[in-house]
Structure 1
Amino acid sequence: GDDADGATVEAGEPDPGSLPSTVVPDDEKTPFDVRHLIEGVCDAGTFLEVHARWAKELVTGYARLDGRAIGVVANQPKQKGGVLFVDSADKAARFINTCNAFNVPLLFLADVPGFMIGKAVERQGIIRHGAKMVSAVSSATVAKISVVVRKAYGAGLYAMAGPAFEPDACIALPGAQIAVMGPEAAINAVYYNQIQAIADEAEREAFVAAKRAEYAADIDILHLASELVVDAVIEPDELRAELIRRYAEAAGKDRCFSERHNPITPA
């Protein structure tokens, strides 16, 4: 039933045709439409997208989860690989601040290779705009739950409310990876000279494969869970039930951290 402020209505059901296990591809490079994942986790038909035609590499909008109103911030892998740009950082910052102002809990669905790099975005001020998003995430006092869907690399992990910002929970799906960068890029960057120095192609491939395996073991999601970097590793189709429980628990948390709020927002 409805509560006093109308934040909760009769619980709905997720879209049975959008089961997370079927919509999320195993390969992190395979694009998919994150809106299908939202429909498969939230109450079907309740997702109201905000700024749908602007900065499409990030999806923002309101939805209901078991009748409870939430704000969703999700990377969109089928647009520019889900990389964060200047506009998507601004879009996220505004949406997160709006949710915080109106006491709407936030759900982050992270599938992000990081922020865009290069001269063009640096001229546009990617650092300053990215800082706005990170500032909004870190200063929001509403319930925040972050889900690492397949990957969260570099500063993208911070921007999507990763463990460093102590969200109410950080959950990962079984194939998720949290790292500075992916195994492929990391090994190419760190061992470039050594790789180039190996003349025999088979030997070079073996060297690269061994180093990638070593790196992958370090960022193994179960290893990170054992060190409490992430709070839980959840099967995709159990994600909805887990989120419902986590938000119910977060609802009872005292959020009166400070009587004064004077954010110095990056310009």
Structure 2
Amino acid sequence: MEKLTEERIQQLKEAKAKAVLGGGEKRIAKLHEQGKLTARERLDVLLDPGSFVEFNQLIGYWQGNPGDGLVCGYGTINGKVVCVYSQDPTVLGGSIGAMHGFKMYRTVERALDMQVPFIGVHDSPGARLPRPQEGTTALGGVMEKNGGSIFYPNTHASGVIPQISAIVGSCAGISVYSPALTDFIFMVDGTSQMFITGPRMVKSVMGEDVTPDELGGAAVHCTVSGVTDARFASEEDLFMSIRELLSLIPANNQEKPSRVDTGDDPDRLDDELAEIVPANPNKAYDMHELIYRILDNGYFYEVKPEFAGEMIVGFGRLDGQTVGIVANNPLVRAGSLTVDSSDKQARFMRFCDCFNIPIILLIDTPAYMPGTHQEHAGIIRHGAKVLYALCEATVPRIGVMVRKAYGGGNLGMGIIPGMATDMIYMWPSVEIGVLGAGQSVELFFGDEIRKSENPKELREQKLKEYREKYANPIHEISNNIFIEDIIEPRETRRRLIRDLKFLENKKLPQRSKKKHGNIPL
């Protein structure tokens, strides 16, 4: 080997070794003191060992800003190829400059080109403030592909490849708007924040004193705003959850999720299911218990578990096939449909439809939550999103009425004829109608009851008669051809699995050509 070549190879090794340290050992130590991992340590936890291949590592090296504050490339998760970037807060605070933004853009673009999932690890205050003397534009260095335009590839990748965001620091501006366009967002308690304008700006403009966590911490976005899908105690737990999620979903919209052998008998019957649900339609219970018993090995990956608890959504498997669960939870707000539950339900169903994941609906709802708060918050508009998502979806969809479905609840859960739910079943204890049995009796017999000698006795008699005749599922199925069958609770799992196999090669409906629909956002 010639001396010059040998010297240059040595120089390259030294440059790459220095670049790996980002902003240097002191800044790395400071990051560790805060309980945080470095950009590269995060990728080490997320990706399969030794699988990461980096792009543009030495951009900004001569200027003392290796990578311009972004580590990006591709690797594998459980053997599945993904494109990923991780913002480095030890280099210029992780701020998004020209090269940093270009690398972000290209990472999403490459993921789209290769039809593989994209993961963004965010720890950035947002756009880098340009210095006046640098002679750039007011927004800094101008490039067509930049941090400020990353929303373009994010948008075009939507519904084509899964996009996942990890928020692992205090993020603002670009570093929250880009994640907001992705399919899933995860945060870490105590160290993650998301906001458009930070506490200082809030204080300056509004005169309001607020801490970063109060303004946009993980708890706020998981329980109040619904921006985030889950929060974790540590970064390691967060990245393990992303690995878990990717095992349930396909790499792109042309594939189906991988089927796995879970070892759970597809013909398993469960007598305990009938014990979980009280016959009294006004008595609360936790729908999670039913979900765990139906799915393979009781495994359920819940999405937004702390937001709009009246609606449960998440992934599980039936005979090894990934399914999306959409279920009312009578334990919270009686399982009513609300503004927040509608957003949660519609977005999840649209993801399932994008990525060929069958939808299972478990229904037990008294319909839409009444009151001025819901009406003024726009329940009409938000509820319409659910109707849009249901009518737009083409994946196999099966509905099981567990106990009750009143009025608009039938509509919001997709079990009205003509909503294209493929199979609809009822349990023997189901009440279905425009109103519940109690409200119907009051409407039709209220005057007669109040004028009787013994109103309480007559009310109970009328209620029993109404439930036996009109609220009885056998009466309903005798007149409603759109309900496939009344099934015993114990056979629910077996029936769902058999129907999913039957619907596996379902033909897509013929629809009018259009640019796109106009969902009521």
TM-score if structure 1 supplies the norm length? 0.90
- Residue 222 in 1 paired to residue 484 in 2? no
Give, in whole Å, the separation in 2 of the partners of 1:199 and 1:33. 39
Structure 2 residue identity aligned to 1:240: R
Give, in whole Å, the separation in 2 of the partners of 1:195 and 1:32. 31
Partner of 2:264 in structure 1? 13
Percent of aligned positions that are identical: 33
Change (3 A) 1:75 1:221: same
1:143 to 396, 400, 422: 396
Deviation, 1:214, is 4.5
Give, in whole Å, the separation in 1 of the partners of 2:452 and 2:256. 69
Partner of 1:244 in structure 2? 497
Deviation, 1:139, is 1.6
1:234 to 477, 480, 487: 487
Summarize deviations over 1:17-62 as a string: whole Å, max 9, x none: 9931222222222211111101111112431000011001110001
Change (3 A) 1:16 1:173: closer
Structure 1 residue identity aligned to 2:315: Y
Give, in whole Å, the separation in 2 of the partners of 1:71 and 1:58. 13
Change (3 A) 1:111 1:12: farther
Partner of 1:172 in structure 2? 426
Partner of 2:459 in structure 1? 208
Matches within 5 A, 1:40-55: 40-55=293-308
Q: Which ranges of structure 1 fall in alignment gaps of 5 or more residues?
A: none
Q: Is the 8 A contact 1:113 1:153 kept in 2?
A: yes
Deviation, 1:250, is 0.8
Q: Secondary structure at the match of 2:297?
A: coil
Deviation, 1:213, is 4.0
Q: Secondary structure at the match of 1:134?
A: helix
Partner of 2:377 in structure 1? 124
Deviation, 1:256, is 4.7
Summarize deviations over 1:163-195 as a string: whole Å, max 9, x none: 421311001111011111111112223443443
Moved more, 204-213 or 223-232: 204-213
Q: Is the 8 A contact 1:106 1:145 kept in 2?
A: yes
Q: Is the 8 A contact 1:163 1:230 kept in 2?
A: no
Change (3 A) 1:206 1:60: same
Give, in whole Å, the separation in 1 of the partners of 2:326 and 2:257. 22
1:258 to 499, 511, 519: 511
| Higher-Rg member (1/2) | 2
Deviation, 1:133, is 1.0
Give, in whole Å, the separation in 2 of the partners of 1:253 and 1:229. 18
Deviation, 1:220, is 1.8
Q: Which has the higher contact order (CA 8 A, sep 6+)?
A: 1
Q: Is the 8 A contact 1:57 1:80 kept in 2?
A: yes
Change (3 A) 1:83 1:5: closer
Structure 2 residue identity aligned to 1:235: E
How many equivalent residue pairs? Answer: 262
Partner of 2:52 in structure 1? none
Summarize deviations over 1:189-222 as a string: whole Å, max 9, x none: 34434433x152x1x2344344434533123211
Partner of 2:315 in structure 1? 62
Q: Is the 8 A contact 1:33 1:78 kept in 2?
A: yes
Change (3 A) 1:45 1:219: closer
Partner of 2:351 in structure 1? 98
1:111 to 359, 364, 372: 364
Give, in whole Å, the separation in 2 of the partners of 1:66 and 1:98. 21
Moved more, 228-237 or 105-114: 228-237
Change (3 A) 1:181 1:7: farther
Q: Secondary structure at the match of 1:188?
A: helix
Change (3 A) 1:199 1:172: closer
Structure 2 residue identity aligned to 1:218: Y
Give, in whole Å, the separation in 1 of the partners of 2:352 and 2:257. 15
Deviation, 1:260, is 3.4
1:26 to 273, 276, 279: 279
Q: Secondary structure at the match of 2:323?
A: strand
Give, in whole Å, the separation in 2 of the partners of 1:124 and 1:106. 28
Give, in whole Å, the separation in 2 of the partners of 1:134 and 1:215. 30
Q: CA RMSD in A?
A: 2.3
Summarize deviations over 1:47-94 as a string: whole Å, max 9, x none: 100001100111000110110100000001111111111100110011
Deviation, 1:134, is 1.6
Deviation, 1:252, is 2.1
Q: Is the 8 A contact 2:256 2:356 kept in 1?
A: no
Q: Which ranges of structure 2 fall in alignment gaps of 5 or more residues?
A: 1-249
Structure 1 residue identity aligned to 2:386: M
